[in-house]
Amino acid sequence: MDAPTLQPKFLPSRNELGLVAVGFCGGQGKSGVDAAPMALIESGLVEQLREELEFNVHYDGEVHQYSDIMPKEDPDYRNMKNPRAVSAVTRKLSEQVYEHARQGRFVLTLGGDHSIAIGTISGTAKAIRERTGREMAVIWVDAHADINTPETSDSGNIHGMPVAFLTGLAKEDKEDCFGWIKDDQRVSVKKLVYIGLRDIDRGEKKILREHNIKAFSMHDIDRYGIGKVMDMALGWIGSDTPIHLSFDIDSLDPMWAPSTGTPVRGGLTLREGDFIAECVHETGSLVALDLVEVNPSLEAHGASETMLSVHLVSQKRENGCGRFSVGVGADIIKELRLKHSIRREIYAEAPLVRQNAYYQQYTNIAVVAGLAHIDPIYFGGRGLY
């Protein structure tokens, strides 16, 4: 394998990676998402980072449950469910991520539900400000905007509110209910870009319009193509801005990632998800990545599909023959072969035609170099609904 050649702009080394595993599901109501980090680790992710990609991985060997800091009582507050638990966990996580980022490491966080981004992004934002003097941008890849305030949320689930707290659109003075978030831990709405939106609450639509937040829906991806969308997204951010990529697995279509708590049809293909991460990687500006909302307890077969999608989410296809170059961090561009048995097992069960109310997908399956290779062709729209 050749050593990576892309030099990160905002990291002193391209080989140092801080890994934080967060087994937390309190930002929403379905159990199981807390098991995702262990499932990913047991599937060989850490070994892959060290052996295949030659990272110096700084990992404490734990999947953090944070049981020692959980409040004894946690009644609803301002329409938020489990506010003190989520606040305590994200505050601790912010400190952990900050410590990695402060030392110039690329930070990979495995969740957990998307409420953990309150911790990951606040920690990265603070460290980047201190270390580089720059304001960080966030690319939020998700079916949902997650920018509800406590007052606009219908469910009260905090995994639908992290962006509001991170941008200061939602604030709280109580220290144990996110009052710990300070200005140097926040990001500007002008440095926020959404990709893959297709299920937005009414209150969120109003927020996006009022603050002129850059948001690319699945309709935009259908209209312009993922390449043009990424050009526009990265052009909006600029070339001299560190980027934190927060990737919710429900951004992918349920065909590729069915094991998630809030699946929405009409999502990104696996190749589109790969391409997003590839484009961000190629900027040299990526400083942190979240992978969240995988729920291995949902559907036995769906879990295996979703786990593989997580492994591939930051990869790009090469030569159509089962070879991939991996772009997990700003310094990764290495080739990797997937096990034939894993790909065959998953693709052999993928039907040739999938239909739903929003689109039809025809899948052409060709065997290349002994591996099943999928080229999705889409008909119909996948806009917001």
pLDDT exceeds 60 at position 374: no
Question: Considering its fold, how many domains does the chain have in total?
Answer: 1
CB 16 within 8 A of CB 57: no
Q: Establish whether 54 is a catalytic residue.
A: no
> 113, 142, 199, 253: which is the annotated catalytic residue?
142
Q: What percent of the chain has pLDDT over 70?
A: 76
Whether 3 is covered by a domain: the verdict is no
As a whole number, the mean pLDDT across the chain is 80
Whether 213 is covered by a domain: the verdict is yes
3-state secondary structure the chain: CCCCCCCCCCCCCCCEEEEEEECCCCCCCCCCHHHHHHHHHHCCHHHHHHHHCCCEEECCCCEECCHHHCCCCCCCECCECCHHHHHHHHHHHHHHHHHHHHCCCEEEEECCCHHHHHHHHHHHHHHHHHHHCCCCEEEEECCCCCCCCCCCCCCCCHHHCHHHHHHCCCCCCCHHHCCCCCHHHCCCHHHEEEEEECCCCHHHHHHHHHCCCEEEEHHHHHHHCHHHHHHHHHHHHCCCCCEEEEEEHHHECCCCCCCCCCCCCCCECHHHHHHHHHHHHHCCCEEEEEEECCCCCCCHHHHHHHHHHHHHCCEEEECCCCEEEECCCCCCCEEEECCHHHHHHHHHCCCCEEECCCCEEEEEEEEECCEEEEEEEEECCCCCC
Whether 328 is covered by a domain: the verdict is yes
> 250, 253, 272, 278: which is the annotated catalytic residue?
250
269: domain CATH number is 3.40.800.10
> Is the peptide bond between 370 and the residue preceding it cis, with omega within 30 degrees of 0?
no
> 293, 305, 311, 331: which is the annotated catalytic residue?
293
Q: Establish whether 159 is a catalytic residue.
A: yes
- Reported as a single tens digit per residue, the pLDDT across 199-213 is 999 999 999 999 999
- Greater pLDDT, 267 or 307: 267
Please report the pLDDT score of residue 213 as a whole number: 98
Q: Which domain holds residue 166?
A: 16-352
- Reported as a single tens digit per residue, the pLDDT across 67-124 is 999 999 999 999 999 999 999 999 999 999 999 999 999 999 999 999 999 999 999 9
Kindly list the distances between the CA atom of residue 257 and the CA atoms of 191, 264, 266, 271, 346, in Å, as whole numbers in the listed order. 28, 10, 12, 13, 11
Please report the pLDDT score of residue 316 as a whole number: 35
Please report the pLDDT score of residue 332 as a whole number: 29
Please report the pLDDT score of residue 305 as a whole number: 54
- Reported as a single tens digit per residue, the pLDDT across 164-186 is 999 999 999 999 999 999 999 99
Whether 1 is covered by a domain: the verdict is no
| Mean pLDDT, range 118-132, rounded to an integer | 99
| Mean pLDDT, range 220-237, rounded to an integer | 97
CA distance 248 to 195: 11
What value, to the nearest 5°, has the Cα angle with vertex 310 and ends 344 and 43?
A: 70
> 74, 113, 159, 274: which is the annotated catalytic residue?
159
> 34, 113, 199, 248: which is the annotated catalytic residue?
248
Q: Establish whether 144 is a catalytic residue.
A: yes
Q: Establish whether 220 is a catalytic residue.
A: no
Whether 43 is covered by a domain: the verdict is yes
| Mean pLDDT, range 242-248, rounded to an integer | 96
> 113, 146, 201, 290: which is the annotated catalytic residue?
146
pLDDT band at 65, cuts 50/70/90? very high
With tokens 């070339």, the residue in question is: 239
Q: Establish whether 250 is a catalytic residue.
A: yes
Please report the pLDDT score of residue 71 as a whole number: 97
Whether 201 is covered by a domain: the verdict is yes
- Reported as a single tens digit per residue, the pLDDT across 7-23 is 899 999 989 999 999 99
Q: What percent of the chain has pLDDT over 90?
A: 62
pLDDT band at 5, cuts 50/70/90? low
> 100, 114, 244, 311: which is the annotated catalytic residue?
114
DSSP β-ladder status, 323-326 and 63-64: unpaired
pLDDT exceeds 70 at position 334: no
Whether 347 is covered by a domain: the verdict is yes
- Reported as a single tens digit per residue, the pLDDT across 279-332 is 898 899 999 999 999 888 875 445 455 445 555 544 432 223 222 333 333 332
Whether 368 is covered by a domain: the verdict is no
pLDDT band at 258, cuts 50/70/90? confident
